[in-house]
Amino acid sequence: MDGRILIVDDEKDMLVLLKRIIEEKTNHIVETEYDPLKVVELLRKQQFDIIITDLKMPKMDGIAILDMVKNIQSSAIVVIMTAYATIETAVEATRKGAFDYISKPFRKERILITIDKAMEWQKLTQENITLRNSLQQKKGFLPIIGSSPPIMSIIKMIDQVAKSTATILISGESGTGKELAARAVHYSSHRKDKPFITVNCTAMPEQIIESELFGHIKGSFTGAWKDKRGIVEEADQGTLFLDEIGDLNMAMQAKLLRLLQEGEYKPVGGLTTKQADIRFVVATNHDLKKLIEAKQFREDLFYRLNVINLHLPPLRERKEDIPILAHHFLKKFNSLNDKKISGIEPEAISALMSKSWPGNIRELENCIERGVILCQSDTIKISDILPQEPVAHTSPVFDHNIYTLPFKEAKEIVIKAFHNKYINWILQQNKGNISRAAEQADLQRQYLHRLIKEENINAEIFK
């Protein structure tokens, strides 16, 4: 995928260097600008896929450039360059929406890898938009797959409640298909021709979630360059799906409660109350009653949300659906990988049905994708989907000489060895995807990224 890249840096030599690096190794069109004040004019004249900007510039810094891009070309990806690389800088940039940051001095491979990842993200984003538009054109779209009694009960319940106006709370473990159930509700309802908007409450930083949901007025905070419509306004007349509602902070819970009760909200910095007609579907993998006991979730909001409860069973409780799910994913990944695999061996299906699937449907999908990629015949075998993994030691083995070292020095060696082994393993499990690896490891993405750099690990080799 060839794209258009804009580089902003007040050092002209840096612009020449970056332009040469990118144009020598890619087919992307590269434009440069040393005066950050002229960037707004460029953004209004032409569309860019990626903007690479220096952080420290005399007339306007990279954070201001980032805010400007998000207001004028929200689909563009911003990468920050800085010689002042600190965790605080990285967090601030990523909090405001930067895709990544690059420390100066840099290796040209680092620039090229970041550009490749950014372009791939653009491609996936566009595919998601196309898919969403396609789904919205389908009447009665019901994406839940399975014929087991628990799933048939869910499908029947959705058919009963979809055409009502009731708020629906979907519960279940991660990977059980809560968003698919929410989509099924929407596309079976009277609002099926209206917007279906998804918000992941976990992924949205607390500092910006109010602005993202309710919009803001120009000048209401630093970076508010112009009035912005919020997600609630975008979802008016349609369905708003709030995923992982249990992670919403208490202040936003109060404002959401008012929206649910009165259909009213105020943009950040606004004085005028706005109205919204929205069907709410929310989901969580938490036990909300336990969160209420811990004073982390409002009891009144819970009862407002829990009008209709749909509990999605884990895959281990609906194993009879595994064969149909496996063949569904086989068809999907055949198409994506241009393959013509005809089926899955019975022994392989039996092996799939014997697993406990802690990652549920998402884990099964990944397993079939691996099988399609590794399969060398017209039928998927056990060795394709469940390759033999080396037995891991329960504890690292160290040279006995380590015990002769001072405690602090020995401890540093042990920790470094653990970091190296653990990071390599977690990246391998997630095919080099740092965001997914961080989620599985329950780490902040920025912290995992720092550990990868410290251990000099190349995540690309796992892809």
**What pLDDT is stored for residue 139 in this prediction?**
44
Q: How confident is the model at residue 397 (pLDDT cuts 50, 70, 90)?
A: very low
- Between 212-216, 272-276, 366-370, 440-444, the lowest mean confidence (pLDDT) is in 440-444
- Using alpha carbons, select from 199, 160, 157 the residue that is nearest to residue 313: 157
> What class, spelled out in words, does domain 316-385 have in CATH?
mainly alpha
Nearest-angstrom CA–CA distance, 35 and 289: 55
pLDDT of residue 350: 80
Fill in the DSSP letter of residue 283.
E
Decide if 281 contacts 185 (C-beta within 8 A).
yes
Q: Which of the pair, 287 or 123, is modelled with greater confidence?
A: 287
22 vs 226 pLDDT, higher one: 22
The answer to whether residues 359 and 174 touch, using CB atoms and an 8 Å cutoff, is yes
What is the number of residues in the chain?
463
Domain ranges of the chain: 4-132, 149-313, 316-385, 400-462
| 83/337: higher pLDDT | 337
> Cβ neighbours of residue 450 under 8 Å, at least 6 residues apart?
87
What is the pLDDT, as a whole number, of residue 134?
46
Extended beta strands in 9-123, E state: 29-33, 50-54, 77-82, 100-103
Q: Which CATH superfamily is domain 149-313 in?
A: P-loop containing nucleotide triphosphate hydrolases (3.40.50.300)
Cβ pair 325, 366 in contact under 8 A: no
pLDDT given at position 194: 93
Rounded average pLDDT over 409-422: 77
pLDDT, tens digit (0-9, with 9 covering 90-100), for 96-135: 778 888 888 888 888 898 898 888 877 766 655 554 454 4
Q: How far apart are the first and last CA of the chain?
A: 18
pLDDT tens-digit map of 339-394: 989 888 877 888 888 888 999 999 999 999 999 999 998 889 888 887 654 433 43
CA distances to 33, 131, 362 from 72, rounded to whole Å, are 17, 24, 35
Q: What are the two backbone dihedrals, phi and then psi, of residue 81, each rounded to the nearest 5 degrees?
A: -105, 135
Asked if residue 88 lies in contact with residue 61, where contact means CB atoms within 8 angstroms, the answer is no
Higher pLDDT, 417 or 398: 417
Residues 6 or more apart from 210 whose CB is under 8 A from it? 251, 252, 255, 268
Picking from 33, 19, 16, 23, the residue whose alpha carbon sits closest to that of residue 2 is 23
Calpha distance 43→22 (Å, rounded): 20
State which CATH number among 3.40.50.2300, 1.10.10.10, 3.30.365.10, 3.20.20.330 fits the domain covering 4-132.
3.40.50.2300
The class of domain 400-462 in CATH terms is mainly alpha
pLDDT at 394: 39
Hey, do 4-132 and 149-313 end up sharing a CATH topology, with the first three levels equal?
Answer: yes
Question: Percentage of the chain with pLDDT > 70?
Answer: 88
Burial status of residue 104 (CB atoms within 10 A of its CB: 0-12, 13-18, 19 or more): middle
pLDDT at position 86, please? 57
Residue 455 confidence (pLDDT): 75
Q: How far apart are CA 74 and CA 226, in angstroms?
A: 13
Q: What does the alpha-carbon distance between residue 67 and residue 69 come to, in Å, rounded to a whole number?
A: 6
Average model confidence (pLDDT) across the chain? 84
- Residue whose C-alpha is closest to residue 35's, from 60, 56, 62, 67: 60
Would you state the pLDDT for residue 131?
46
Whole-model pTM above 0.75?
no
Neighbour tally for 114: CB within 10 Å = 20
Longest Cα–Cα distance in the chain: 73
